[in-house]
Each structure stands twice: as C-alpha cells, then as structure tokens.
Amino acid sequence: MLRLSGSESASLSRTSSSASSSRPISSRSLSPTSALVATPLPVLVPRTGRRPRSLGEPFPGTASFGRAARILPQPAGGTPRSRADRWTILGAWTRPCARRVRRRLDAELVRRGLASTRSEAGVAVRSGTVLVAGRPAMKAGTLVAPEDPIVLTGPPRRFVSRGGEKLEAALVRFEVDVTNALALDAGASTGGFTDCLLRRGAARVAAVDVGYGQLDWRLREDPRVTVMERTNVRDLEPGQLPFVPGLVTADLSFISLRLALPALRRCTTPGATFMLLVKPQFE
C-alpha cells in the first residue's frame, strides 16, 4: 500500500484525469520524497484441535516400550499399558508363528538323530528311503514341520557314516584281514573307516584328523580308539602315535596323497598295508 501527501495527490489527480482509473501507477511519477509504508502480513494461526509434535517425541504410553509399541492397540481413554500387558499381547501374537517353524528335511533328520550329517541325510533322501507323513520325499530341501512323522525305510545303518561301507567293500574285494591289527585312520572325520576296522576285529585304531569335534561320540568313548584331532598328516611324526601301525587307511580331502604318503610311510612298520581312497579332484 502507498500513502501520498496532499500536494502529491492533487498533482497526481491532474496528470491522471485523462487516463483510466485502472491504469497502474508508475514509480517515475512519484517525487523522490515519497515514502513507502509496508503493511504487515497476517499471522497464520494453527488449526485448532491439533498440537505440533516433534519427530522424536513418543506417543502416549510408548516411551517405555520403544518403537514396537506403535503396533500395539492403545486402550480407550489413552491410558498407557503396563509393560507386562504389552509383553502379553506380543506373546499372543507371536505364539502362532512359533508353531509354524519349518526346517529343511536333511537338517531335521540330523536333529532327530536319524542321520549323522546333512550330506548323509541327503543321500538317504535321494535313495528314496525317507518317508514324510507316509510319502517318499525326493528333495533334501523339502520343508517339514517338527510334528511331521519321518520314517527311514530299508536296512538299518551299520556304520557311523558311509565311509565304513566303502572300506568294507575294499577289504572284501582285496581280501585284507584286519583282525588284531594296529591301524592308523588318516582323515577320520566322523569315523566311518574307524568303525569298520573295529567291527572287523582291529585291536587299536589311531584316528587322525585336522578338524575338531567330528568323530562320533561312541567311537570317541571307545578305549580302543586314540583320538588325534587338529593334527595334519603331512606333519605326523612316529613319536606322536601311541603305537607303530601295520595298517593305514586314508580318506583325505583337499590334499593330494603324494603330500601325505611320505609322513605315513615313516610312521608305519616295514611292509605295512595301505588302503587309500583316491579322489581324482585332489590329485
């Protein structure tokens, strides 16, 4: 808004008599002494019924429970719930989810003690000897619930792992007698070779493995077994063994037999028998 003095308004009216009343006023027609007065803008008032809330300010009744309290229904009247009430509500919501937990079939077989490892469980599934709720399961990754009945068909397992079946087939094929033998099992792992040697009459077995905690508990507690874990066969010395073996079995992974044979030979008696599982991918 512009406010002018009386003389300035009179001169302005004479100069603008011929012009339309809607013609804009030019700043050039004003004298240098003209004063510009600004009218203050109106103040915006917030809408009633709402109050500003900080982004970090919690809702009523949620400060003691964190952000999770936003998902909980608030009681009538806005009275905050107690912490015990909120835990009760969350427990009721999450309890049905716990009943729906499902696991892979191979992992469930290991959990129930029907297989020693997931790889062994996978072999049993692929062979068609695993029944879930009366139907054969064809995939080890099939999801099963804890209450689903699982049955293994076929003959019972003879050794703690499939390695025992491999060694037994070789002993029969090559007509090797291990009765009363002092044996060294290199790469014992779960103990399939060790279990086979003991069942066929070996007197003592030294189970050597670079890993830890893999040997079956039954074999670990057997007095005929000497457990040598965290031991690399490449660095094996005769003084580390409790006896001089006359029979050596080996099922090694991620290492060539060329690197392990020198150490195995210097730890055995002259003319010892070697039963070595050859894995082409490591040779």
CA angle in degrees (0–180, nearest 5) for 235-241-244: 110
Q: Which amino acid belongs to residue 185?
A: D
Task: Please report, for the chain, the start and end positions of each structural domain, with discontinuous segments joined by +.
Answer: 103-152, 163-282
What pLDDT does 42 receive?
Answer: 61
**Which CATH number is 163-282's, of 3.40.50.700, 1.10.1660.10, 3.40.50.150, 3.30.950.10?**
3.40.50.150
Exposure string for 5-29, b = 16+ CB within 10 A, e = fewer: eeeeeeeeeeeeeeeeeeeeeeeee
Domain at 103-152, CATH homologous superfamily: RNA-binding S4 domain (3.10.290.10)
Q: Write out the chain's pLDDT in tens, 283 residues.
A: 444 444 444 444 444 444 444 455 544 555 555 555 556 666 555 555 555 555 555 555 555 555 555 555 555 555 555 555 555 555 555 555 545 689 999 999 999 988 878 888 888 898 889 999 999 998 999 999 999 999 998 887 888 888 999 999 999 999 999 999 999 999 999 999 999 999 999 999 999 999 999 998 899 999 999 999 999 999 999 999 999 999 999 999 899 999 999 999 999 999 999 999 999 888 8
Instruction: Answer for the pair 212, 189: CB distance below 8 angstroms, yes or no.
Output: no
Amino acid at 202: A
Cα separation, 191 vs 215, in Å, equals 5
Q: How far apart are CA 279 and CA 256, in angstroms?
A: 8
pLDDT at 58: 53
pTM: 0.56
